[in-house]
Amino acid sequence: MQRRYFIAMALAATATPLVRAQSPLPAGPIRIIVGFPPGGGTDVMARVMGQKLSVMWGVPVTVENKAGAAGVIAAEYVARQPGDGATLLMTNISNHAIAPGLYPTLSYVVERDFTPLVLVGITPNLLICNTAQSTRTVKDVVERCRAKPGTVTFGSSGAGAAQHLAMELFKLRAGIDALHVPYRGSSPMLTDLIGGQIDYSFETMTSATPHVASGKLVAIAQTRARRSKAFPQVTTVAEMGFAGYDASTWYGLVGPARMPTATAQRMNEDFNKVLAMPDVAEKLASFGAEDGGGSPNKFAEFIATERQKWAKVIKDAKVTV
């Protein structure tokens, strides 16, 4: 009897370490790298996910900002990390779809150097201005740009960022010229936009929403093919005479290449569970983030389609940085 008791106690003591050893997840802290300063859309998405994952996995999941070159610096950093799942990238359209067509000497290859994990969400950009701006319709913005070519200013979070390319696509479709003003992140750009130092921006809905809701900025139009549920009253650029115009911003989680299949699959399953949580879904929806979730293969196919689309825009608009 006593011998059976000690055997049972020994098995109980080793059960937890055994389960931990068999888990495909990293045993220690996990970092989500963000290529933009705190407060922008990519940063917000990373923190929403990180908070839930930390509780779910029982390990610290921290967000680390490595801003610069419209997210390219962060992507280059993650591409060099071990593929054990301890370092992830909250990527977006800028470093995974636009940068490959924009930077001829980019040090990473998207398909070779990353493991797609999950699409977190797709959001429109908002064409916004400050409350002192008198030109507040798409038609009037186009007419103003035609009347003063190359002088009307559009801010972005950086050269090659989603906001920049949304403006370039708008210029192509409207046949206008305008002046791009790049910043180091959305936060300083929005400060100048509110203050009147620049005229407009195609800002991500995620970071523009709080300022529109507070009355500091005005939403003129949104840039997905259909209206976001978060802004049903705001018309789309496509509805205003530019059929087919779609300049969505999207966010997703990827890891370095060579991640174990079991780790990638387990993370994908848990990411989908987090995205399905009612409070997370409500939070993302409030920022216009829709259509997230799904398999790693679905995300990989989505990235490939986006790369082709924006490579053509870069070529047609002769965009250089």
Summarize pLDDT for 271-314 with one digit per residue, the tens: 999 999 999 999 999 888 999 999 999 999 999 999 999 999 99
Q: What are phi and psi of 85, to 5 degrees?
A: 90, 0
**More confident call, 21 vs 57:** 57
Residues of each domain in the chain carrying CATH 3.40.190.10: 125-240
pTM score of the predicted model: 0.85
Query: Residue 17: is its pLDDT beyond 50?
Result: no
Pairwise CA distance, residues 225 & 228, whole Å = 9
Q: Determine which of 49-53, 88-92, 158-162, 263-267 has the lowest per-residue pLDDT on average.
A: 158-162
Give the residue from 96, 122, 78, 82 showing the smallest Cα distance to 223.
Answer: 122
Structure tokens at 101: 């067509």
Looking at residue 310, its pLDDT comes to 96
Total Cβ atoms within 10 A of residue 168: 24
* Length, in residues, of the chain: 321
Span 85-98, average pLDDT: 96
pLDDT at 18: 36
Cα 1 to Cα 8: distance, rounded to the nearest angstrom: 11
pLDDT tens per residue across span 36-74: 889 888 999 999 999 999 999 999 999 999 998 889 999
23 pLDDT higher than 90: no
* Average pLDDT for the chain: 91
Q: What is the pLDDT of residue 68?
A: 86
Per-residue pLDDT of 204-218, as tens digits, reads 898 899 999 999 999
* Least trusted range by pLDDT, from 5-19, 105-119, 264-278: 5-19
Q: Determine how β-strand 249-256 pairs with β-strand 217-222.
A: unpaired
Q: Which of 80-84, 126-130, 205-209 has the lowest mean pLDDT?
A: 205-209
Q: What is the percent of the chain where pLDDT is above 70? A: 93
- Per-residue confidence (pLDDT) for residue 8, from 0 to 100: 40
Six-digit token pair at 6? 């000690």
Q: Which of 14-18, 238-242, 285-289 shows the lowest per-residue confidence on average (mean pLDDT)?
A: 14-18
Strand pairing class (30-34; 179-182): unpaired
pLDDT reading at 19 higher than 80:
no
| pLDDT on residue 284 | 92
Output b/e per residue, 35-68; b: 16+ Cβ within 10 A: bbbebbbbbbbbbbbbebbeeebebebebebbbb
List, edge to edge, every strand of the sheet that includes 249-256: 61-65, 30-34, 87-92, 249-256, 114-123
CATH superfamily, with its number, for domain 125-240: Periplasmic binding protein-like II (3.40.190.10)
- Report the CATH architecture of 7-122+249-317: 3-Layer(aba) Sandwich (3.40)
Q: For residue range 172-198, list pLDDT tens digits in order.
A: 999 999 999 999 888 899 999 999 999
pLDDT value, residue 4: 43
Please report where in the chains the tokens 């192509």 appear, as a residue: 172
Task: Look at residue 11 and tell me whether its pLDDT is greater than 50.
Answer: no
Domain(s) labelled CATH 3.40.190.150 in the chain stretch across: 7-122+249-317
pLDDT band at 22; cut points 50, 70, 90: low
Taking residues 11-15, what's their average pLDDT? Answer: 40
